[in-house]
């Protein structure tokens, strides 16, 4: 059992858990993920490490309520325990690229972008962050990014214009690329965001990496549920990724596979709301 030490609510649907997990904290790297099974009847769900502390023995992950498991998780409080937390999984993000980096996070993807930005700064890179969200309420970790980066290296966009620049992340990205201000791009977020960021970076011939988020079951390379097409080859995101050269990713394939269980996801949520499932908490 893995104890929840702290629960933080960022907005109506976005939460952060700090979990007691000394071994995971000791071995985690930016870009890696963990698999969580909330209780005996639970499914295994991947979450990326948002933060960790080896000395204090905890890890953190951020989640948005989108279905049964995340809705149920949102009812857990500090002091409750999660049945299983497995990790670290996947390869750490490769930050060996030279020059100035642009880290793009969309929505909950900001939780994944933050440790990458932090480590890039720690290893002496100049970093720009593009923070995208649908609305102001969904913008995560602004304070942390502001502590990390100079004012003029933070670019905020909201779809509805409720905060920062109205629009999507590709506008500031295009400006940075035009000004030749960045040499490497890392992006993580919803598929359309990653796809269009990639097209923008490609236009300028700037290398871009994306952290992919397909459905996973075991997260250790055993089942192939998370397979993605990269450069015409099948790769398992859980062991070969989750980061890939974004210019080679087949985004349509990723989207189709992500959507494969829409119907069942709806059924599970309905059963939960009607309290027909065996495990509530």
The whole-angstrom separation of Cα 159 and Cα 139 is 11
Output the smallest distance, CB 237 to another protein, in A: 12
Residue among 8, 12, 41, 203 that touches another protein (CB under 8 A): 41
Residue among 12, 23, 77, 245 that touches another protein (CB under 8 A): 23
Residue among 48, 69, 74, 184 that touches another protein (CB under 8 A): 69
Residue among 89, 133, 168, 201 that touches another protein (CB under 8 A): 89
3-class DSSP string for 237-281: HHHHCCEEEHHHECHHHHHHHHCCCHHHHHHHHHHHHCCCCCCCC
| Residues 6+ away with beta carbon under 8 Å from 122 | none
Burial profile 25-35: b = 16 or more Cβ within 10 angstroms, e = fewer = beebbbbbbbb
Is 37 one of the binding residues for another protein (CB under 8 A)? yes
- Only one of the segments 21-29, 139-147, 148-156, 203-211 lies at the binding site for another protein (rule: CB under 8 A); that segment is 21-29
Residue among 227, 237, 249, 251 that touches another protein (CB under 8 A): 227
Helices (H), 30-109: 68-73
Stretch 199-218 residues interacting with another protein (CB under 8 A): 217-218
Is 276 one of the binding residues for another protein (CB under 8 A)? yes
Task: Kindly provide the residue ranges of all beta strands, DSSP E only, lying in 42-172, ordered along the sequence.
Answer: 44-53, 58-64, 81-82, 84-89, 101-106, 127-133, 154-158, 165-166
The whole-angstrom separation of Cα 243 and Cα 228 is 11
Cα dihedral 140/144/145/151 (nearest 10): 120
The verdict on whether residue 279 carries a ligand-binding annotation is: no
The verdict on whether residue 277 carries a ligand-binding annotation is: no
- Only one of the segments 58-66, 111-119, 127-135, 260-268 lies at the binding site for another protein (rule: CB under 8 A); that segment is 260-268
The verdict on whether residue 225 carries a ligand-binding annotation is: no
Residue among 9, 146, 223, 231 that touches another protein (CB under 8 A): 223
The whole-angstrom separation of Cα 150 and Cα 131 is 14
Burial profile 89-109: b = 16 or more Cβ within 10 angstroms, e = fewer = bbebbebeeeebbbbbbbbbb
Is 71 one of the binding residues for another protein (CB under 8 A)? no
Output the smallest distance, CB 251 to another protein, in A: 13
Binding region for another protein (CB under 8 A): 23-24, 27, 32, 37, 41-44, 68-69, 83-89, 217-218, 220-225, 227-229, 234, 236, 239, 253, 256-257, 259-261, 264-265, 267-268, 271-272, 276-279
Task: Name the binding residues for [2Fe-2S] cluster.
Answer: 223, 226, 238
């Amino acid at each position: 059992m893995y104890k929840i030490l702290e629960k933080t609510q960022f907005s109506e649907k976005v939460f952060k858990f700090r979990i007691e997990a000394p071994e995971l904290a000791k071995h985690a790297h930016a870009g890696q993920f963990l698999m969580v099974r909330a209780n005996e009847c639970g499914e295994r769900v991947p979450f990326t490490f948002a933060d960790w502390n080896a000395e204090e023995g905890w890890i953190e992950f951020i989640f948005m309520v989108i279905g049964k498991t995340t809705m149920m998780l949102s009812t857990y409080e500090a002091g409750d325990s999660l049945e299983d937390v497995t990790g670290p999984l996947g390869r750490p993000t490769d930050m060996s690229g030279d020059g100035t980096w642009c880290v793009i996070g969309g929505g909950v993807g900001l939780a994944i972008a933050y440790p990458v930005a932090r480590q890039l700064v720690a290893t002496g890179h100049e970093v720009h962050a593009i923070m995208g969200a649908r609305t102001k309420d969904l913008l995560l970790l602004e304070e942390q990014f502001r502590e990390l980066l100079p004012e003029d290296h933070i670019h905020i966009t909201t779809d509805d214009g409720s905060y920062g620049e109205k629009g999507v992340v590709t506008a500031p990205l295009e400006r940075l690329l035009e000004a030749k201000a960045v040499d490497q791009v890392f992006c993580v977020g919803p598929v359309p965001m990653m796809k269009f960021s990639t097209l923008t970076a490609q236009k300028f011939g700037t290398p871009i990496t994306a952290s992919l988020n397909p459905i996973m079951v075991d997260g250790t390379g055993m089942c192939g549920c998370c397979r993605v097409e990269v450069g015409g080859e099948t790769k398992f995101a859980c062991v070969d990724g989750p980061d890939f050269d974004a210019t080679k990713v087949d985004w349509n394939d990723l989207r189709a596979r992500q959507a494969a269980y829409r119907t069942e996801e709806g059924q599970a949520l309905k059963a939960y709301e009607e309290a027909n499932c065996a495990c509530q908490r």
